Structure 1
Amino acid sequence: MAEVLEQLAKELFAGNAKGVAELTNKALAEGLKPSEVLNDGLIKGMGEVGVKFKANEIYVPEVLIAARAMKAGMEILKPKLAESGVEPVAKMIIGTVKGDLHDIGKNLVAMMMEGAGFEIIDLGIDVPAEKFIQAVKDNQPQLIGMSALLTTTMVQIKENIKAFQDAGVRNNVKVLIGGAPVTQKFTDEVGADGYSPDAASAVDKAKELLGIA
């Protein structure tokens, strides 16, 4: 049984969406629990993608292809996980801030987080503070991820954090920020909880902020 999961992780790393879907079905048909297929197959494969991406051994296109393969497996697994009562590691709201239309970095982070077992609510691009606040109220997440790719939109992160405080939701969530111009110094200045220089590091930082092993 371990063989099918090993193969599943390999096919995901290789970005073979069809193979991932077939092996996910096969693993379930062999009687493996949905949580096992998720953790020892899909998450394991995506974890390897994160390690290689961090080490610059693979690049954005390979990550996107692997993430697409992960999605193929998740579509089959999601209803099974819900049936068996498997909870996500944590819930995260993510979006690119108001005035900024960049989404590749944000999408990569969302994929990496999903690949690590987080439930992701993606608000898209050009997201105003009000939309983040409403999403927090509606979804009760543990984490907010904000991305800014321009120095001109970076200030929006500061505005948003102030708006979260004014709306009374800031203390309920950890705020993780990132994007090309964002630095640790800026993170400290605006009062965010954490900063990630790249998508692969975002998972580690998120787990660290939430105290997840």
Structure 2
Amino acid sequence: MSAIDVLIRLSTIRVLPVVVIDDAAQAVPLAHALVAGGVPCAEVTLRTPAAVDAMRAMAGVPDFVVGCGTAVTADQVEASVEAGARFVVSPGFDESVADRCRALGMPHVPGVATATEVMRARAAGFTVQKFFPAAPLGGAAAIAALAGPFPDLRFVPSGGVGLAEAASYRLDAVHSVSTSWVTPRDAIADGRFELVVDRARAFREQVVA
């Protein structure tokens, strides 16, 4: 898939599970659980030593789109893409990260928190941006407000988004909804993948209009 195709696929799925994984051996069964729940994608955050190996394992699961999350350096982008990541998400906007993603042809979703940051990322060519941390910044109401002056952009709300808030993000300005609620870290560690299947289904039902 091209970079544009990846972003279109993610927007169709509408849910972007945020995964913190401690054991790469859990990566493939987790990916299969997400597929079974109708959410064949994941953003694996670079918060544990197992993250890159987990991406590599998930990249081998058919019809699954794995990406790198919490990318804050160009070297992290390089390692993640080499492992099979198909997209890169960052908590903020950094020129070196953006440049490396461009050089590698990787779709990049930089983080923004203010209108000024939105404008800066937009000027750099990013029309899909991560709105982070979504809940403390006003959630769906804040995205609706930003959609006024920036009708050409789409946002990925992330941070404090659980099942109770999911339906509020059924907005045209929302590209997909990022959440860790679907993939609890302890459930992954304990191998409780049936919980992930159920949560993936429940969350997607709330965000798909």
TM tier relative to shorter chain: 0.3 to 0.5
Indicate the structure (1 or 2) with the bigger Cα radius of gyration: 1
The normalised TM-score by structure 2 is 0.37
Which structure has more RCO (C-alpha within 8 Å, separation ≥ 6)?
Answer: 2
Structure with the higher fraction of residues in strand conformation? 2
Structure with the higher fraction of residues in helix conformation? 1
The normalised TM-score by structure 1 is 0.36
